[in-house]
Amino acid sequence: MIKILITQAGTGWSGLTKTEQAKWLSAAGKELLAQGISQWFGVRWDCKEEKNRELATERNAWGKPFLVCHPEIHFNISHSGCLAACGFGDEPLGLDIQQCAAADYFRMADRFYTEADRELLRRTEETDRQKAFYQIWTKEESYAKWLGTALPNSIGKEKKEGFCRWFEPMPGYQGAVWTGKQEEIEIQWV
Domain spans, the chain: 2-189
pLDDT tops 80 at residue 44? no
pLDDT tops 80 at residue 85? yes
Model confidence pLDDT, tens digit, residues 62-78: 888 888 888 889 999 99
Prediction pTM value: 0.89
More confident residue, 143 or 55: 143
Q: Please, is 40 exposed, middle or buried when counting C-beta atoms within 10 Å of its C-beta (0-12, 13-18, 19+)?
A: middle
The CATH superfamily assigned to 2-189 is 4'-phosphopantetheinyl transferase domain (3.90.470.20)
**How confident is residue 50, by pLDDT bands cut at 50, 70 and 90?**
low
Model confidence pLDDT, tens digit, residues 178-189: 999 999 999 999
Q: What is the pLDDT of residue 68?
A: 82
Nearest Cα to 4, choosing from 158, 113, 138? 138
Q: What is the pLDDT of residue 69?
A: 80
Mean pLDDT across the chain: 89
More confident residue, 169 or 43: 169
Q: Which residues of 94-132 are buried (b: 16+ CB within 10 A; e: fewer)?
A: bbbbbebeeeebeeebeebbbeebbebbeebeeeebbeb
Q: What percent of the chain has pLDDT over 90?
A: 65
Q: What is the pLDDT of residue 152?
A: 67
- Which range, 37-46, 74-83, 140-149, 152-161, is most confident? 74-83
Sheet hosting strand 163-167, strand order edge to edge: 93-99, 173-179, 163-167
Length of the chain: 190
How far, in Å, CA of 16 to CA of 174, rounded?
Answer: 23
Instruction: Name the phi and psi angles at 36, rounded to 5.
Output: -65, -45
Model confidence pLDDT, tens digit, residues 159-172: 779 999 999 999 99
Q: What is the pLDDT of residue 46?
A: 61
